[in-house]
């Protein structure tokens, strides 16, 4: 199942009717109403044809449009005011030592701005500053990055051609290797 996983624009895994039957076969009490499917009618028809004693799906979980979804989620992030007001471009340019670095930073910044991800950069600055202030060691990439859906799914949305810098594995392949329980949702803490 995992090798064929599709992901919609808000990062939800899209399941086929066969995926749902497999999930329910392994755990009949699993609440499939929270899953997203290619075609709910196809799933329900499959149940009726196979005469399996599994629940039909009556509604489709809904999400706001992608822009509203992103805005709502980004606006829920906690960051001290100092970081929400930081001029990220200037902060990055101040770190550059050559004109070539400045040109690269400007080009990459423009991409983040185009995708409305400046707040992501502000958060990353805050995050790294917090780690440094608390003397935490930051390993990049994280040694278990390739096993973490909450990293891989958003990263896939940002850069569909990304490869793990050490493993040289495409992100689609990393997502395909996640265990089935990682494909249902990202667990909130």
Q: What is the pLDDT of residues 34-52, one digit of tens each?
A: 677 777 787 788 778 887 7
DSSP SS3 for 65: coil
From residue 48, give the alpha-carbon distance in Å to each of 43, 44, 59, 80.
Answer: 9, 6, 17, 54
Quick one: pLDDT at residue 90?
96
Q: What is the pLDDT of residues 5-21, one digit of tens each?
A: 677 776 777 777 777 77
- Give me the percent of the chain exceeding a pLDDT of 90: 23
Beta strands 13-15; 6-7: pairing state: antiparallel
Interatomic CA distance for residues 182 and 47, integer angstroms: 24
Rg (C-alpha) for the chain, rounded Å, is 20
- Give me the percent of the chain exceeding a pLDDT of 70: 85
From residue 87, give the alpha-carbon distance in Å to each of 30, 75, 91, 118.
Answer: 46, 18, 6, 9
More confident position, 117 or 63: 117
How would you class 78 by CB atoms within 10 Å of its CB: exposed for 0-12, middle for 13-18, buried for 19 or more?
exposed
């Amino acid at each position: 199942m995992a090798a064929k996983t599709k992901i919609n624009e808000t990062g939800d895994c899209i399941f086929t009717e066969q995926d749902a039957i497999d999930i329910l076969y392994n755990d009949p009490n699993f609440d499939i109403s929270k899953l997203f499917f290619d075609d709910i009618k196809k799933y329900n028809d499959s149940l009726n044809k196979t005469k399996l004693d599994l629940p039909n799906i009556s509604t489709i979980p809904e999400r706001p449009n992608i822009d509203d979804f992103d805005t709502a989620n980004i606006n829920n992030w906690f960051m001290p005011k100092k970081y929400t007001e930081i001029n990220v471009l200037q902060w990055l340019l101040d770190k550059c030592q050559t004109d070539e670095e400045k040109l690269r930073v400007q080009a990459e910044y423009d991409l983040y701005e185009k995708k409305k991800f400046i707040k992501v950069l502000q958060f990353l600055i805050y995050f790294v500053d917090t780690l440094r202030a608390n003397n935490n060691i930051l390993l990049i990439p994280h040694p278990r990055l390739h096993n973490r859906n909450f990293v891989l799914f958003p990263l896939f949305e940002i850069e569909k051609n990304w490869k793990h810098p050490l493993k040289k594995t495409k992100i689609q392949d990393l997502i395909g290797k996640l265990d089935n329980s990682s494909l249902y949702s990202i667990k909130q803490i």
